[in-house]
Structure 1
Amino acid sequence: MDRFLFLTLDGLSRGAVHAAFALALVLIWRAARIVNFAQGAMAVAAAYAAYTVSAETGSYWLGLLAALAAGLALGALVDVTVMRFVDHRSPLSPVIVALGLVLLIQAVLGMIHGNEFLPAETPFSRAALTVGGLAVLSPYDLFVFATVGVVVAALAWTFTRTAVGLRMRAAAFAPEVSRLLGVNVGGMLTLGWALASGVGALAAMLVIPTELGLHPHAMDLVFVSAFTAAVVGGLDSPPGAVVGGLLVGLLLSYVSGYAGSDLTPLAVLALLLAVLLVRPAGLFAPVTARQV
């Protein structure tokens, strides 16, 4: 029972990070109707900016701010210089361009920083706290939960309670009508890319210290798990991304704890296939009328 409780808490902690990264994918989808396969590479680039600033200043928090700023700037830059000129009439065009961006970003990072694993520090201890003789969450896990909770609440408030959020949603779902109503559709799309990239950078800063360290490919497997979480919850549903991330985190924790870590990729693939076969739009996708 103690082992099950430990794996559950560990899974929720891992799932919170996957939820944050899945939320970044959902933001891009809602803003531009694109699955950004370059999200992981962009997040790693922001994490390298944080590593550089932290190494120069000795401050984790300045590095975190640098990662967020780099993520926001990189997201806006990718939209303005690349994605805005992609032919979106073909669904494959943005995918191919995003995959090309992955190769480009990872190659540039490798040339600048090398391909060795670099240490990634945490602001709080990762040693598990003991309650009643049972090891539970660490201070860093609590920091992850609090950070992801604040991000989710802030994004939910932005998209449901502010004029900017309403304009972003309108620009994504009805761009022509939005233009007629005076909405700067291009600016809203760029803002969506910036926000998604910023959230992805934050997720990278939270998850990389729990892995082997900082590396140009550090977010590759995390992207697969986060993409699965986004699909499970529904690409149009931010709450679904959060729930999907927690489910994927629990799945990874249980499988690695009881069956071994070698089977975790197969477990994620099985979950993805099951959801696509049973409910392709995701568990939290809005119900649509059947057309005959």
Structure 2
Amino acid sequence: MQQFLTTALNGLTQGMIFAAFALALVLIWRSTRIVNFAQAPMAMITVYIALVIIDAGYSYWLGFAAALLSGLLLGAVVERVAVRPVEDKPHINAVILTLGLFIVIHALAAVIFGSRYRSFPAPFGLSGFQLGDMNIALTGFGVFSILAVLAVMLLLVLLFRFTNVGLMMRASAFNQEVARLLGVRVTRMLTQGWALAAMVGSLSGLLIAGGNLVHPAYMDSVVVFGFVAAVLGGLDSPIGAVVGGLILGISLSFVSGYIGSEVVALAALVILMVVLLVRPGGLFSHAPARRV
């Protein structure tokens, strides 16, 4: 019973981390119709900015806020400088560009911050709770991660369903020409989409780094699992991103705990294939409009 509960709670925390990264991918997809494979190194850079501030003697929360703000700025800069020249080209051009940015940002981080492993602090405890004779493997930082991801999911749902900005961002992503005719400032909406997605990506980087060691490649594996989580839930659904992250995190935790960590990647592929065979658009996808 203890092992089952520990495995499940570890999967819950891990799934929320996958969900945080998946939310960033969903946000950039909903607002620009682009999958940003450079999301992980962009988040990693902002985590290093937070680490520099914390190592200088300032509070964790100041570094946390600085990382989120720098992610917001970095996303806007990347969109304006690198992505905008190819925005009117086929979307595959922008996707290939993000793969190039992945390599470039990695190299810059290694040059600026070095490649050695560095410890990143956590604002809350990293030990589980004691309930009688049973140790609950859910840390204070794990609870913070769960609440943070749920809050972001709720805010994104409200943004895209109930605000004019969210509706204009979606209109700009689906059909730029029609959106312009309706008075939407498309370029501004695309910039805002990249900026907000980068800020959510920074949050995922901070949640992954808390209480762990960071280095320029520490988020690379999360790209794969976060992308799988986003596809499982449906790339157009913030709720789906969280559900997909939970399904993936809990499933992989049980696979690792009861079968072996060496088959975790294979299990993720099997889960993705099964879901896409049953529901190709993801669990929370909407039925496409019928063309006549």
TM-score tier by shorter-chain length is: over 0.9
Deviations 1:186-214 (A, max 9, x none): 10111011110000000110012355x11
Q: Measure, in 1, the Cα distance between the counterparts of 2:211 and 2:8.
A: 17
CA contact (8 A) 1:75 1:197 kept: yes
Aligned to 1:2: 2
| d(CA) in 2 for partners of 1:18, 1:88 | 31
Mapping 1:1-292, distance limit 5 Å: 1-86=1-86, 89-136=89-136, 137-209=138-210, 211=212, 213-289=213-289
| Partners of 1:240 and 1:284 within 8 A in 2 | yes
CA distance, structure 2, for counterparts of residue 90 and residue 34 of structure 1: 10
Structure 2 gap ranges (5+): none
Distance 1:263-1:7 versus aligned 2 partners, 3 A rule: same
1:178–1:92 CA distance, 2 compared to 1 (3 A) = closer
**Deviation, structure 1 residue 6:** 1.7
Q: CA deviation at 1:291?
A: 5.5
Structure 1: which amino acid aligns with 2:163? T
CA contact (8 A) 1:88 1:94 kept: no
Name the amino acid aligned to 2:50. Answer: A
Deviations 1:32-63 (A, max 9, x none): 11110101111101111111111113311111
Q: Unaligned 5+ residue runs, structure 1?
A: none
- Greater Cα shift, 255-264 or 98-107: 255-264
TM-score normalized by the length of structure 2: 0.95
Indicate the larger mover: 90-99 or 71-80. Answer: 90-99
In the alignment, residue 260 of structure 1 is paired with which amino acid?
A: G
TM-score after normalising by structure 1: 0.95
Q: Indicate conservation of the 8 Å contact 2:119/2:211, yes or no.
A: no
Q: What amino acid is aligned across from residue 148 of structure 2 in structure 1? A: T
Aligned letter for 2:204?
A: A
Conservation of the 8 A alpha-carbon contact between 1:256 and 1:262: yes
Q: CA deviation at 1:143?
A: 0.9
1:229 & 1:43 partners in 2: Cα distance? Answer: 18
**Cα distance in 1 for residues equivalent to 2:57 and 2:175:** 46
Taking the aligned partners of 1:255 and 1:145, their CA distance within structure 2 comes to: 21
Tell me how far 1:170 sits from its aligned partner: 1.6
More displaced, 194-203 or 261-270? 261-270
- Shift of residue 151, structure 1, vs aligned partner: 1.4
Please tell me whether the aligned partners of residues 86 and 93 of structure 1 are also in contact (alpha carbons under 8 angstroms). yes
CA RMSD of aligned residues (A): 1.5
Query: Would you say the 8 A contact 2:121–2:211 is kept in 1?
Result: no
Matched letter for residue 194 of structure 1: A
